[in-house]
Amino acid sequence: MILEKNPCTVHETGESRSYRLAPAQPWVIRSARTAVKGLKMDIQSVGIVGAGQMGNGIAHVFAVAGFDVLMTDISQEALDKAVALIAKNFDRQVTRGKITADVKDAAMARIKTTLKLADVGQTDLVIEAATERETVKQAIFEDLLPHLKPTTILTSNTSSISITRLASRTDRPEKFMGFHFMNPVPVMQLVELIRGIATDEPTYQAMLEVVRKLGKTAASAEDFPAFIVNRILMPMINEAVYTLYEGVGNVKSIDESLKLGANHPMGPLELADFIGLDTCLAIMNVLHEGLGDTKYRPCPLLSKYVEAGWLGRKTQRGFYDYRSEVPVPTR
């Protein structure tokens, strides 16, 4: 497919550019695909779109693994904050003896930032790590398309949205994958690899090799709503919220029950605050709408917290109030 400008639409990302899909001549599509056929996918540079919690963690692990990293965001403040946090996390690893100071310095030198989304188009691998809203993700990929190298692989760190649907809005669905890291990225070992219906084998193998170089473990998932981890985890969190909503237990008793009774390192409500209640709600909505089963209906209390702007740790209030030294349950 080729893209045609539509100046009437304004995306949620704050950028004024927007696109609508226009039918392409068949020979144009064949030409684009023929140009990359047979080329070895040697990934050395990585472009990361989004400098938030996930984006800066992904930049961290790629830099320390020896990849050149270019991170972009619509806010210079967000980029500066991300780089500062990455440096702080590297210092923590040095203090704990996990890496040396020389490794830290080399990794930081590999991380560059830019406010221009087009700049990341010239990297070998693009990882979209923006907010979990399909319209935002589609806008990013559409804006990127005119600036991509023929060999660039596109991926999304989405935790629930259809990879096939995202890929269909690009000119290279065969070179598009879900690349879902767990939070916090430097600590968690697993990466979910999700193929869309058109993803080809060379792309999949290239991403397996990237995961290996990162020192992480890949889990291959089919393109169903929420994939593997969140298909299991989010309904558990949602059920914990229902347990709170129905008065079966309070925040403290629910979390302690799972920590002490099921040996979970974090209680489900504490974990929800860590993930972000807006993210939890978005994933539950994807599950509910995508699978059409009432067992995935988001708890009304979860929706109410999000409406109130109580999103967890990132807003200082969620199921716990984090404004004091010791978090205090809010219910």
**Which residues does the annotation mark as catalytic?**
159, 180, 192, 230
Distance in angstroms (rounded) separating the CA atoms of residues 175 and 168: 11
In the beta sheet, which residues pair with residue 195?
177
Distance in angstroms (rounded) separating the CA atoms of residues 80 and 85: 9
Distance in angstroms (rounded) separating the CA atoms of residues 288 and 144: 30
Distance in angstroms (rounded) separating the CA atoms of residues 47 and 141: 12
Distance in angstroms (rounded) separating the CA atoms of residues 147 and 42: 19
Distance in angstroms (rounded) separating the CA atoms of residues 224 and 160: 8
Pairing of strands 320-321, 328-329: antiparallel
Rg, Å, the chain Cα set: 21
Q: Answer whether 299's CB lies under 8 Å from 241's CB.
A: yes
Closest by CA to 201, choosing from 220, 215, 181, 229, is 220
Distance in angstroms (rounded) separating the CA atoms of residues 138 and 119: 18
Neighbours of 75 (CB within 10 A): 12
